[in-house]
Amino acid sequence: MPICAPSSDSSASSASGGRAWIVHGLALGAAAAAAAAAAYLYRRPSGFRSRAVGIIPARFASSRFEGKPLAHILGKPMIQVESIYAVFSPGLGCGVVHDVSLFVPIVVATDDERIADCCRGFGADVIMTSESCRNGSERCCEALKKLGKRYDIVVNIQGDEPLIEPEIIDGVVMALQRAPDAVFSTAVTSLKPEDASDTNRVKCVVDNQGYAIYFSRGLIPSNKSGKVNPNYPYLLHLGISGFDSKFLMIYPELPPTPLQLEEDLEQLKVLENGYRMKVIKVDHDAHGVDAPEDVEKIEELMRAKNIQ
């Protein structure tokens, strides 16, 4: 069910209007309480990289899941479920309820009119990007250029984790604000032992300051026994990344690197080029939606958690 009338504005200029609509369309009491807690917990350092925007890149064509952003989860398009979650990020979204100065928009970047129409229909802001974008970061880069406003941080909120908690989005923003030497930030959570050999679940190792050392589709670190060590705290990478916006502008142009190509992991390009990446560890029950059969699993989970 759309929670507000579709807007015909295709640019981000109606950012505040769109956001306000989404917030009003939800339980305001809960939002206000969350915002109050958030304002207290996450007082953002002023100044350094203070302006952040969240971008949800969404395309229709996909080899594994055609039309994924519009696939319904408990009766709502996935992109809507995801956008509403993102809006509740303390730093990015909930701040709007109490303090207008904290307001930072979240926009959907797409090349597809069906997705754009759907998003405008529930009050999201949409940026049209070209069909030639090869992946989400290219799309975020193009959207950033088209946004017209200056932002210091861009959070790429990927569609394969529709239930990414808002606190995680905020954490990724703060990681970049607190680590001036990093140009990229991302999040990991505990890897379930049963996911150890799944090559779609990307593993990560970090140094003792929380900077990324490496990412792999294989199990890292690897144990002498050749088996999964049930006692080792392996880390699972989550599909969310924060970019310093100046870095995002050059990132698509950086040539591919050998490890990136071999593992087919874009984030390795950051590390192989010698840039620093800050990683936050979060509590998150990962439930990626990579294929149509994942939808049922996520619906089950939403029912169990009483999420509508």
Ligand X SMILES: *[C@@H]1O[C@H](CO)[C@@H](O)[C@H](O)[C@H]1NC(C)=O
Cα 250 to Cα 50, 148, 155, 242, 245, distances in angstroms: 20, 18, 16, 14, 9
Beta carbons of 114 and 71 less than 8 angstroms apart: no
Number of residues that bind ligand X (CB under 6 A): 13
Run of H or E residues at 84: helix 78-87
Q: Least distance from C-beta 86 to ligand X, angstroms?
A: 22
Q: 65 vs 122, which CB is nearer to ligand X?
A: 65
Q: Least distance from C-beta 209 to ligand X, angstroms?
A: 24
Q: Least distance from C-beta 171 to ligand X, angstroms?
A: 23
Beta carbons of 69 and 157 less than 8 angstroms apart: no
Question: Which one of the spans 15-23, 27-35, 225-233, 295-303 is the region binding ligand X (CB under 6 A)?
Answer: 225-233
The binder of ligand X chosen from 46, 208, 225, 306 (CB under 6 A): 225
The position carrying tokens 């696939």 is 71
Beta carbons of 212 and 269 less than 8 angstroms apart: no
Question: Which one of the spans 36-44, 186-194, 224-232, 293-301 is the region binding ligand X (CB under 6 A)?
Answer: 224-232
**Which residue's C-beta sits nearest to ligand X?**
252
DSSP 44: P
Beta carbons of 70 and 60 less than 8 angstroms apart: yes
Q: 102 vs 141, which CB is nearer to ligand X?
A: 141
Residue 20: how many CB atoms within 10 A of its CB? Answer: 16
Query: Strand runs (DSSP E) across 106-210, as ranges?
Result: 106-110, 125-128, 153-157, 182-190, 203-206
Task: Based on the shown chain and the rule CB under 6 A, indicate whether residue 229 belongs to the binding site for ligand X.
Answer: yes
Write each residue from 118 to 157 as x if it is in contact with ligand X (CB under 6 A), else as -, in one continuous string.
----------------xx-xx-------------------
Residues 231-270 binding ligand X (CB under 6 A) are 252, 256, 266, 269
Residues with Cβ within 8 Å of residue 228, at least 6 apart in sequence: 193, 196, 197, 219, 234
Q: Least distance from C-beta 27 to ligand X, angstroms?
A: 37
Task: Based on the shown chain and the rule CB under 6 A, indicate whether residue 221 belongs to the binding site for ligand X.
Answer: no
Distance CA 253, CA 270 (A): 12
Q: Least distance from C-beta 95 to ligand X, angstroms?
A: 31
The binder of ligand X chosen from 62, 222, 223, 308 (CB under 6 A): 223
- Residue 185 β-bridge partners: 242, 278
Q: Least distance from C-beta 254 to ligand X, angstroms?
A: 6
Question: Which one of the spans 80-88, 144-152, 221-229, 272-280 is the region binding ligand X (CB under 6 A)?
Answer: 221-229
What is the rounded radius of gyration, in angstroms, for the C-alpha atoms of the chain?
19
Q: 266 vs 299, which CB is nearer to ligand X?
A: 266
Task: Based on the shown chain and the rule CB under 6 A, indicate whether residue 50 belongs to the binding site for ligand X.
Answer: no
Helix, strand or coil, per DSSP, at residue 175: helix
Write each residue from 267 to 286 as x if it is in contact with ligand X (CB under 6 A), else as -, in one continuous string.
--x-----------------
Binding site for ligand X (CB under 6 A): 134-135, 137-138, 223-225, 227, 229, 252, 256, 266, 269
